Structure 1
Amino acid sequence: MLNVNLRHLHYLVTLAETGNFGAAAARAGITQSTLSAAIRGLEEELGAPLMDRSGRRMQLLPFGETVVERARDIIAQVGELPEYAARSARPLTTRLRLGMIPSVAPFVLPKLLRSLRAAHPDLSLSVREGLTQSLLAEIRAGRLDAAFIAHMPSVEEFEYTAVAEDPFLVALPPRHPLSGRAALTLADLASDRLLLLDQGHCLREHVLTALGRDGLVDEHDVRAASIMTLVQLVDFGTGITLLPRIAVDAGAVSGTGITLVRYESPSAARRLVVAWRARSYRRSDYLALAEHIRRHCLPGSDGAAAAE
């Protein structure tokens, strides 16, 4: 039977994150010799080397990479045990650390905070806005519990539940020649300058997919850091963009001269999901959160739920 020390798993994960024995030892608050002995002890217990120490920088072996991922999972599950015991009788009654992407947070968060306070007063919610990949990395590391994001291929390693389909609308500048159309296709938009969010935003990738990535010339697009900046650029006549309905229904284009037209494409929507680490003890919490968002936080919902 294996006799693996949880503290040693923490040391291994820290070493993998820093890539250096000295930096890892400093972060863990131990000496480098103690760290080295702990890693060697872990290798002896597992019966195989975890890393290649022959170069100037420590390099995890394939087996070591697998063990690090399992160690993160074990550490996160152990960390959840006290909260799991505390909330086993009722969901959404303790702490929940939630990530949200920037193309969702401004349009959902106000309703979410109000409605959760009313429906689940014992819940301690903290919210972090960030790009999809960074939020997923925070979940892997145990620093976030779940994230409300748009589905991407990188979500497949997590468990998740769909919350809503979020269709795209074409946002046209004032007096644009196509503003009288009931619907538009990719061919209709080929000659217009495309406005996009900057690299790293999943909304950028969804828009590129919806508009046909191969037909776009990247050096001609204009990039922004937020949906509201895109709205201002379109209103000024700089170009066109696709806006998610969740932003439009929350008033993103109010007070502008922008015309919104339905976009026809097999990829004319993104799927919004709540994602969390697979095999989490708190699965019932995350399913309850997703259901709460569906009922109370999307456009058209009441946004001020009574206690459930």
Structure 2
Amino acid sequence: MTLRELQYLVELARLGNFHRAAEVCGVSQPTLSTQIRKLEEKLGVTLVERNPRQTVLTPVGEEIVARAREVLNGVQDIVDISVRHRKSGAGRLRLGVFPTLGPYLLPLLVPLIGGRFPGLQLQLLEEKSELLLDRLRAGGLDAALLALPVRDPALQVTPLFQEPFLLAAPCDHPLARQQTISVDDLSGQQLMLLEDGHCLRDQALSLCHRWGADEITGFRTTSLETLRQMVAAGMGVTLLPKLATCGPLSQGDKLRFVPFRDQPAPSRTIGMVWRRSSARVGLLRQIAKLTVSAAGLPAA
């Protein structure tokens, strides 16, 4: 068998469709289908169940795909090692980040990475945390910036910094008139939150329940920017992470960001996560240090 055949099989397993897998692999659908059949003949087993709507792996197919991912990851590690030895800092880095952090941290981080590693090709993926973890485990990412905790013995988790939460309130809201607030001030308040699937929603709900606050029923949104605009329109209050309240895009004359005076203040821990088997640990640790510098927040 060849590495190309394994790549075809892994992409087919990921996408569940011969046509889409062929497009990703840069071959025609008949070519990909033929190569998969040849692989099945070599191995003497059926790897996929074929039907008009989707392609489903057989049980032995699932086992072989899992091992094929490990093989392909190992090959990529070999390529990365050779590139680093040819030219320090060169090569490709695939970095994932979740949506409530990426738009605010990446504009600060990417220039630092470019200045420190001018030969590094940076590929960024912004997705929800669970999807990033799936891609990381499957070898589709080299590392991901995530809100902790992350518990997986196959992954190295490095805490980076603490990001405080601030209350975002319309300027005419009673809490907006205060310089600082206490968590006790949120008792009885109703907050606008993100939709299911966002780690920030889970964190905010946990804090709300602890403080005696609650979620506004019948309202959920997909982005922090929508939340910000709804607050500015006087629709309610919400919690925003510190980095989302900084910079020119966050400013406005219709809302205020009020910090908490409690010690410790409500916050989330941001960390970098990569596979323990990664051959790029040295580079990833340097990227982690640059991330702490870019955020400008207390180290975790």
Structure 2-normalised TM-score? 0.78
Q: 1:236 to 1:151 in 2, by over 3 A?
A: same
Which position in structure 1 is the counterpart of 2:273? 275
Q: Give structure 2 stretches of 5+ with no counterpart.
A: none
Q: Which moved more, 1:135-144 or 1:52-61?
A: 52-61
Q: 1:100 to 1:42 in 2, by over 3 A?
A: same
Distance in 2 (alpha carbons) for counterparts of 1:145 and 1:110: 20
Q: Give structure 1 stretches of 5+ with no counterpart.
A: 302-308
- Please state if 1:195 is matched with 2:188: no
Q: Which of 230, 234, 237 is matched with 2:234 structurally?
A: 237
Which position in structure 2 is the counterpart of 1:290? 288
1:196 to partner: Cα distance? 1.6
Q: 1:234 to 1:19 in 2, by over 3 A?
A: closer
1:268 to partner: Cα distance? 3.0
Which position in structure 2 is the counterpart of 1:60? 57
Which position in structure 1 is the counterpart of 2:42? 41
Q: 1:253 to 1:159 in 2, by over 3 A?
A: same
Q: Which of 157, 161, 185 is matched with 2:158 structurally?
A: 161
Cα-to-partner distance string for 1:161-212 (whole Å, 9 max, x where unaligned): 2211212222232232334384433x64354332122333322222223223
Q: Which moved more, 1:224-233 or 1:146-155?
A: 146-155
Which position in structure 1 is the counterpart of 2:33? 32
The one-letter code matched in structure 2 to 1:280 is: S
Distance in 2 (alpha carbons) for counterparts of 1:289 and 1:24: 32
1:132 to partner: Cα distance? 2.4
1:147 to partner: Cα distance? 2.2
Distance in 2 (alpha carbons) for counterparts of 1:31 and 1:66: 20
Q: 1:193 to 1:20 in 2, by over 3 A?
A: same
Which position in structure 1 is the counterpart of 2:142? 145
Distance in 2 (alpha carbons) for counterparts of 1:20 and 1:104: 32
Q: 1:190 to 1:62 in 2, by over 3 A?
A: farther
> How many residues in Structure 1 have an aligned counterpart in Structure 2?
292
1:153 to partner: Cα distance? 4.5
Higher strand share: 2
Q: Which of 80, 90, 93 is matched with 1:93 structurally?
A: 90
Between the two proteins, what is the percent identity of the paired residues?
Answer: 32
Cα-to-partner distance string for 1:128-168 (whole Å, 9 max, x where unaligned): 33332333344345443322232354766533322112122
Structure 1-normalised TM-score? 0.76
Aligned pairs (5 A) from 1:80-119: 80-88=77-85, 92-119=89-116
Distance in 2 (alpha carbons) for counterparts of 1:96 and 1:118: 15
Q: 1:267 to 1:61 in 2, by over 3 A?
A: farther
Q: Which moved more, 1:251-260 or 1:93-102?
A: 251-260
Distance in 2 (alpha carbons) for counterparts of 1:162 and 1:200: 22
